[in-house]
Structures are given as structure tokens and as C-alpha cells.
Amino acid sequence: MKKSNFALRIQPSLMNELRRLAEKDQTSLNQFINVAVAEKLSAMLTAEAFFSQRATPDARQKALEILERAGTDALPRKGDEPPITSR
């Protein structure tokens, strides 16, 4: 596995908490930070995929139409519900 070095500046309070949690997790600080970064990347990539799969050419226009009725007494209408997609 190829490795990279990066000088990371972390506030002392965060560093203290990182050390404490890494010790509690019985792992090195380096490994703890690597796992945290991997988890964040995974969450962001999953969210990106989720929204890009559901984006349709008319999604923006539909959202604007729904928002125009926000605050009025209009009830939800057929078609206001989000599309059900299968994976």
C-alpha cells in the first residue's frame, strides 16, 4: 500500500479528544484518523450518489412549484410525493 504524508493542524482540544478516543478504541492515533476520514468520505460519496440518482431534468421545476405553495393552505396534491425508485 502506498502511503502519503500530510501535515495536519488540529486544535489542541480536538487533538486531546482524538487521543482519548483512539486510546479508548485501542488503536493508534494515525489509524483512528484514517478510519474517521474514510467514514466521512463514504458518507459524502453515498449522499452524492443518492441525490444524483434521483435527479431528473424536471426535479428543480417540480420543487419550485411545491415551494410556491408553501405557507398556503393548499393540501399536498397527487404528484407531490417523492418518486419511489428501486435499487
Q: Any idea where the domains of the chain sit in the sequence?
A: 12-68
pTM: 0.57
Residue pLDDT, tens place only, 76-85: 788 788 777 7
Choice between 65 and 18, residue whose per-residue pLDDT is larger: 18
Question: Is 19 a residue whose pLDDT tops 80?
Answer: yes
Instruction: Work out the pLDDT band at 64, boundaries 50, 70, 90.
Output: confident
Which long-range contacts link 63-66 to residues 24+ away (Cβ below 8 Å)?
none
Residue 14 burial (10 A CB sphere; 0-12, 13-18, 19+): exposed
**How much is the mean pLDDT over the chain?**
87
CA distances from 70 to 5, 23, 64, 75 (A): 50, 50, 10, 10
pLDDT recorded at residue 87: 58
Note the pLDDT of residue 34.
94
CA distance 23 to 17: 10
